[in-house]
Amino acid sequence: MEAWKQILKETWHFYRKTLSLVFRGGTAYYLWCLFLLCFIFIGFIFYLKQHDLGLIETNMTDQVSWGLYIANFTYLVGMAAAAVLLVIPAYIYQFKPIKEIVVLGELFAASSIVMAILFVMVDLGRLDRFWHMIPFIGSMNFPQSLLAWDVLVLNGYLFLNLLIPIYLLVTFYYRKTPNWKFILPFILLSIPTAVGIHTVTAFLYNGLAARPFWNASILAPRFLASALCSGPAIMIIIFQIIRKVSVIDVEDEALFKIAELIAYAMFLNLFLLAAEFFKEYYSDTVHIAPFKYLFEGLHGHTQLVPWIWTAMTMNVTAFILFLIPSTRKRLSTLNLGCVFIIIGVWIEKGPGFVVPGFVPDPLGEIYVYMPNLLELMVSFGIWATGLLIFTLLMKVALPIEAGVFSHSEYEKGMSPPPPLH
Amino acid sequence: MSLPLFSSCTKEEKEDFLQKHFKEMTPDEVKRVIAKLEERYLRKYGKKFQIATQDALPGTLWGYGLDLSRCIGCRKCVYACAKENNNSRRHPQLHWIRVIRLKKGSLINLENSEHYYDPPLVPEKEYLYLPVQCQHCEHPPCVKVCPVHATWKEPDGLVVVDYNWCIGCRYCIAACPYKGRVFNWADPTIPPEEVNTAVHYLGNRPRMKSSVDKCTYCIQRVRTGRYPACVEACPTGTRKFGNLLDPNSEIRYIIQNKRVFRLKEDLNTEPKFYYFFEA
């Protein structure tokens, strides 16, 4: 009885503390949350319109039947998969500066997966029939359909990326050392799963013989390489924000190490793209059409050309910046490179990857797709949702990591935690 | 059902939500669903519908023949199809048949095809016309990729969709090499006076917003011994249809005696749609 009371009291302590952490912050924190909530609200209103009237409210058609939503989905799966880049050095090589921040990277992966799943949900015409895909309850076409695979691995990866950081944070909360025998298998499992989610997502496109642009075996490795650029790049930025607004210290050394790894990944990404370029342009078959549409325009349609060359310029510039130690180890050029990679890879494997798969379509028709306002607003809304989830997770996780939010037993006699800005 | 989740829904909405996959319904459940649909269509279009659920006829495998030397590109088939099959007419206008115009001299590379040709008079001297619709592949990529088994190949070879089971992910559209599938981007618009009331559950019954549909070789007709609407509508005798398992059928005669080919044979989809030239 007494024990139960204690547990209830402790649970209450945890929730009360969590809520006060989430609801209290500096002006910047409130403004940031308000900013995100505005976008979430606007996105939701636009989504309701789409839900009501159908996908006709988007600019997608039977010719280009996937657009901005699926482009964002593809990009975000890569973001999430990239957490593995932090997991490997942290747990396998025990590289200390990264190990301290890996929990944050995993929570970012979880937020990315939530965004990716939301992008699939808004793209689904019949959200009300989503249950048809649930194994045993509906009738999932497993193992034939790669989309069924994707649902399984994405949810599995989401589970791992919540389990691992939450377990570690709870042990920190109780000031205990983690039971590595319990959690390490999950950590190790998360590495192949990260590769898995991105490989499966690549295969989803790769397996379609109807779409020569996607039907290239180089796709999965290219996906992985570009993911290992964009995911860590956004984390370098996030870590700098975290060390500014919290007591957590992220060493420069960790950021530079991540940037170095990005440089290798970007080299691989550019090399694989070059390999595709050579094959398409040297053999010069009819299958080159989508490539031409993307890089030089097809029959006078050049809508994607400025986008892809912007992306190429950004990726190459970032690669050079991260390759040279002096620019990699200066925060201004490091951040510039990160921004370039985040945008460059988004263009390259988001719209620059999804749209040319549909242009020209299997009967040779060219439909010029550009997302409309509704698609943009719904997409911004989802990004805002993911960032809000991540912000709130950080608001609780950072004090635990810093040791200022823990079991009440340890808080006795401690000065109240410094306010977070 | 008294789940709180459904407390705000009508009984009909609840039933719709929980409706099973067509192939998993008991005969009784099928009857109930048909009755419900007939009532709904009566309300919407003011007409009494006959919704068939007839199974495949034993010993049939449907095949299509198309004589490219006869097609004049008039698109009579396109509009007869839309009318027969209760396709959405405007915004969006959905067609199960596409006739594309190709410059003479090229047939395989469709990159220079014209989809929206609109001359005062067809045929035009320097062009040939290639009608394309669902090819009812023996190895349909759309069926393979559907994440929920909402589309499948019937015993008589027809590839069909359970419109009430489709989740609207459009993966099948991405997978189809023939552009054989269209999506109901909005609630279909059919003028009530033009609606066709003789329908099949897996075929031409009026569809709903956000599900995929496609040519079924007029399942509602061919399973009762009639020709597909496009075959009947064609003014030039371009279109042929028959049972591939019947050695005396017209389609078998064509395969035996004409030089037939199928679209994109290199993709191994094994279409049951044979193009040929008379002259």
Q: Read off the pLDDT of residues A247-279 as tens digits, 9 standing for 90 and up.
A: 778 788 888 988 999 999 999 999 999 999 999
In a domain, B110, yes or no: yes
Fold entry, domain A29-270+371-411: Formate dehydrogenase/DMSO reductase fold (1.20.1630)
Band the pLDDT of B227: cuts 50, 70, 90: very high
Burial (CB count <10 Å: 0-12, 13-18, 19+), residue B125: exposed
In a domain, B39, yes or no: no
CB count, 10 Å around CB of A143? 9
Bridge partners, B103 (sequence order) = B127
Cross-chain residue pair B141–A210, CB shorter than 8 Å = yes
Band the pLDDT of A403: cuts 50, 70, 90: confident
How many beta-carbon pairs under 8 angstroms link A with B?
141
Question: If we measure between CA atoms, which residue out of A270, A382, A126 comes closest to residue B187?
Answer: A126
Whether omega for the bond prior to residue B92 falls within 30 degrees of 0, making it cis, is yes
Quote the pLDDT of residue B1: 34
- Distance between CA B27 and CA B87 in Å, rounded? 28
Give the percent of chain B with pLDDT over 70.
Answer: 97
Indicate which CATH number applies to the domain containing B276. 3.30.70.20
Quote the pLDDT of residue A201: 96
The secondary structure of residue B184, as a DSSP letter, is -
In a domain, B25, yes or no: no
Q: Which ipTM score applies to this complex?
A: 0.93
- Distance between CA B72 and CA B99 in Å, rounded? 10
Cross-chain residue pair B147–A140, CB shorter than 8 Å = yes
In a domain, B234, yes or no: yes
Flag whether residue A234 sits within 8 Å of chain B, measured between CB atoms. Answer: no
Flag whether residue B87 sits within 8 Å of chain A, measured between CB atoms. Answer: no
Alpha carbon of B65: minimum distance to chain A alpha carbons (Å): 19
Cross-chain residue pair B173–A125, CB shorter than 8 Å = no
Cross-chain residue pair B210–A209, CB shorter than 8 Å = no
Question: A96 versus B116: which is more confidently predicted?
Answer: B116
Flag whether residue A165 sits within 8 Å of chain B, measured between CB atoms. Answer: no
Partners of B93 on chain A (C-beta within 8 Å) are none
Question: A303 versus B108: which is more confidently predicted?
Answer: A303
In a domain, B264, yes or no: yes
Average predicted confidence (pLDDT) for chain A: 91
Quote the pLDDT of residue A93: 65
pLDDT digit string (tens) for B2-36? 344 555 678 888 888 999 999 999 999 999 999 99
CB count, 10 Å around CB of A301? 15
Cross-chain residue pair A147–B171, CB shorter than 8 Å = yes
Flag whether residue B120 sits within 8 Å of chain A, measured between CB atoms. Answer: no
Partners of A206 on chain B (C-beta within 8 Å) are none
**SS3 of residue B52 by DSSP:** strand
Cross-chain residue pair A133–B148, CB shorter than 8 Å = yes
pLDDT digit string (tens) for A120-137? 999 999 999 999 999 899
Mean pLDDT of B193-210: 96
Mean pLDDT of B66-72: 96
Q: Which two structure tokens, joined as six digits, stand for A284?
A: 């010069």
Give the percent of chain A with pLDDT over 70.
Answer: 93
The CA distances from residue A26 to A417, A421, B233, in Å, are 14, 4, 73
- Distance between CA A163 and CA A184 in Å, rounded? 12
CA A357 to chain CA centroid, nearest Å: 22
pLDDT digit string (tens) for A281-310? 999 999 999 999 999 999 999 999 999 999
Partners of A139 on chain B (C-beta within 8 Å) are 21, 24, 148-149, 165
Flag whether residue A62 sits within 8 Å of chain B, measured between CB atoms. Answer: yes
pLDDT digit string (tens) for A348-382? 999 999 999 999 999 999 999 999 999 999 999 99
Mutate to test the interface with A, among B17, B173, B182 (most CBs of A within 10 A): B173
Band the pLDDT of A412: cuts 50, 70, 90: low
Q: Which amino acid is at B145?
A: V
Number of domains in chain B: 1
Give me the domain span that covers residue B70: 56-279
Mutate to test the interface with B, among A68, A121, A145, A206 (most CBs of B within 10 A): A145
Of B149, B171, B175, the CB nearest to A139: B149
Band the pLDDT of A421: cuts 50, 70, 90: very low
- CA quadruple A182, A185, A191, A195: dihedral positive or negative? negative
Cross-chain residue pair A132–B111, CB shorter than 8 Å = no
* pLDDT over 80 at A84, yes or no: no
Of A55, A129, A363, the CB nearest to B132: A363
Question: A96 versus A307: which is more confidently predicted?
Answer: A307
Q: Give the chain B residue nearest A124 (alpha carbons).
A: B169
* pLDDT over 50 at A418, yes or no: no
* pLDDT over 80 at A417, yes or no: no
pLDDT digit string (tens) for A40-62? 999 999 999 999 999 999 999 99
Bridge partners, B99 (sequence order) = B131
| Half-sphere CA count of A344, side-chain side, radius 13 A | 24
Cross-chain residue pair B147–A145, CB shorter than 8 Å = yes
Quote the pLDDT of residue A180: 85
Alpha helices by DSSP H, listed for B107-246, are 141-145, 171-175, 219-222, 229-233
Partners of B209 on chain A (C-beta within 8 Å) are 54, 125
Average predicted confidence (pLDDT) for chain B: 94
In a domain, B48, yes or no: no
For chain A, domain boundaries: 29-270+371-411
Give the percent of chain B with pLDDT over 90.
Answer: 90
Whether omega for the bond prior to residue A221 falls within 30 degrees of 0, making it cis, is no
Read off the pTM: 0.94
Quote the pLDDT of residue A94: 67
Quote the pLDDT of residue A335: 97
In a domain, B2, yes or no: no
Quote the pLDDT of residue A420: 45
Flag whether residue A209 sits within 8 Å of chain B, measured between CB atoms. Answer: yes
Quote the pLDDT of residue A98: 66
- Distance between CA A218 and CA A362 in Å, rounded? 21
Question: If we measure between CA atoms, which residue out of B234, B160, B240, B151 comes closest to residue B200?
Answer: B160
Flag whether residue A361 sits within 8 Å of chain B, measured between CB atoms. Answer: yes
Mean pLDDT of A144-154: 95
Mean pLDDT of B170-189: 97
* pLDDT over 90 at A65, yes or no: yes
Q: Give the chain B residue nearest A119 (alpha carbons).
A: B169
Quote the pLDDT of residue A52: 94
In a domain, B4, yes or no: no
